[in-house]
Amino acid sequence: MNRVFVTGMGIISAIGNSVAENHLALKEGKSGISKNLNLFPTKYASLLPFAQVGISTNELSSKLKIIEKGVTRTSMLALHAFNEAVEDAGLSGSIISAHDTALIGASTVGGMCLTDELYEDANKCEQGSDYTQSYDCASVCLFLQQRYKMSGIINTINTACSSAANAIMYGAMLIKNGFADRAIVGGADSLAKFTINGFNALHILSPETCTPFDENRKGLNLGEGAAFLVLEKDAAEKKIYAELTGYCNANDAYHPSSLSEQGDGPFFSMQGALQSAGLAAADINFINAHGTGTENNDEVESRAMIRLFNNPPDFASSKANVGHTLGAAGAVEAVFSILSLYYQELYANLYYNKAIPSTGLVPVQVYKKMPVQHVMSNSFGFGGNCSSLIFSKA
């Protein structure tokens, strides 16, 4: 089976509009979380902190020269990151539109960032808005497909918060099985009144900036963003960021919206990723943890790490930098994991103070340079959907 290399990356998040900006912000330990959400009217705008991308939808639209009708903020964030990734990998228009180039995206919100428009279109049988074909999760990739006239396999995955990790995995499988020679893989989600109210109803939104793996963590902060990777089987003479060496998707099969105490899903996804990479637990130098900052996730993830690694390697969560970007998270964090490999450095898990008593695990607290050969990246979601990826130094 073919090997899978990462040859290009693109990202837009609350801490920067490019890979370079995100890299600098990570090194400096910056957080993009604040209480001034201004994308749409919601009573939580000034009550709860969010990680909003610093460009308005209008600015994005003109920057990306959007002339199509019904393009949502999610699709624009996706296009922004997609453009950076394909340019970084040096893919020409004809390569992007070739039949052996696949596009695999991920989203949980899709066009539902337009929550108020969706309410009108779904309930009133009068004049439809411009967005009737833009609400579903598939709309994001279909927009990219049309922009670039792509003719290869086009797919979108929604496994809640692990969506983008599974999109990366699916793209890699297409390459390994000969269904594509290269795959542009990633995810996008924007902040939405719908998800804000959903997570609020579950009582897992933190009233302050989140503090992953801290004893006194109070929940997560929602964020938005998009990230794409270019995966290629043949990367000779190209800049190679990393090799995707392992992946696994497993289910916790315990509860629709929380993880089991023993963390079977996280344990099996991490263990399966090691097996698929042919690595031992001791080979992993760093774990990019899912670490949302909720009571449930951080404790269960810690327990699963101890169960598999006994003495877990360095680990950190970037959720206090960029918030929880839901369907984009797996791709956003793949970029961060690859930056760690490429630059041989680890970034700090912000706002951690004291270890969770039952586990005693302490995340990376300051930026540091160190040799990094293999990084594991975790993404866990509702529906028990857990996925782990392993990126290795090429």
Return residues touching other proteins (CB under 8 A).
Answer: 42-44, 108, 112, 115, 118-119, 121-125, 127-129, 132-133, 135-139, 141-142, 145-146, 150-151, 153-160, 166, 170, 173-174, 176-177, 179, 193-194, 197-198, 200-202, 249-257, 264-265, 268, 381-385
* Minimum CB distance to other proteins smaller for 33 or for 140: 140
* Phi, psi dihedrals of residue 42, rounded to the nearest 5°: -150, 145
Residue identified by tokens 């970029």 is 335
CB of 322 to other proteins, least distance (A): 21
* Minimum CB distance to other proteins smaller for 136 or for 283: 136
Residue identified by tokens 């073919």 is 2
Gyration radius (Cα) of the chain, Å: 19
Residue pair 19/10 in contact by the 8 Å Cβ criterion: yes
* Minimum CB distance to other proteins smaller for 165 or for 305: 165
Residue spans of alpha helices (H) in the chain: 19-27, 57-63, 73-88, 93-96, 115-123, 138-147, 163-176, 193-201, 264-277, 295-309, 319-322, 329-343
* Minimum CB distance to other proteins smaller for 16 or for 152: 152
* Minimum CB distance to other proteins smaller for 119 or for 367: 119
* Minimum CB distance to other proteins smaller for 254 or for 343: 254
CB of 118 to other proteins, least distance (A): 7
CB of 137 to other proteins, least distance (A): 5
CB of 239 to other proteins, least distance (A): 28
Q: Could you give the 3-state DSSP secondary structure of residue 321?
A: helix
CB of 24 to other proteins, least distance (A): 34
Residue pair 109/67 in contact by the 8 Å Cβ criterion: no
CB of 80 to other proteins, least distance (A): 21
* Minimum CB distance to other proteins smaller for 63 or for 99: 99
Beta-carbon contacts of 165 under 8 Å, excluding residues fewer than 6 positions away, are 247, 249, 330, 331, 334, 377, 379, 387, 388, 389
* Minimum CB distance to other proteins smaller for 203 or for 369: 203
Amino acid residing at 226: A
Residue 209: HSE in the Cβ half-sphere, 13 Å Cα cutoff: 18
Residue pair 159/387 in contact by the 8 Å Cβ criterion: yes
Q: Cα–Cα–Cα angle for 245, 9, 317, nearest 5°?
A: 70
CB of 254 to other proteins, least distance (A): 7
- Please say whether the dihedral angle defined by the alpha carbons of residues 324, 329, 335 and 337, taken in this order, is positive or negative: positive
CB of 124 to other proteins, least distance (A): 8
* Minimum CB distance to other proteins smaller for 26 or for 180: 180
* Phi, psi dihedrals of residue 245, rounded to the nearest 5°: -105, -20
CB of 228 to other proteins, least distance (A): 16
Residue pair 95/7 in contact by the 8 Å Cβ criterion: no
* Minimum CB distance to other proteins smaller for 23 or for 73: 73
Beta-carbon contacts of 109 under 8 Å, excluding residues fewer than 6 positions away, are 74, 137, 189, 190, 192, 194, 195, 326, 327
CB of 192 to other proteins, least distance (A): 10
* Phi, psi dihedrals of residue 201, rounded to the nearest 5°: -65, -25
Question: In sequence order, what are the beta bridge partners of 228?
Answer: 10, 186
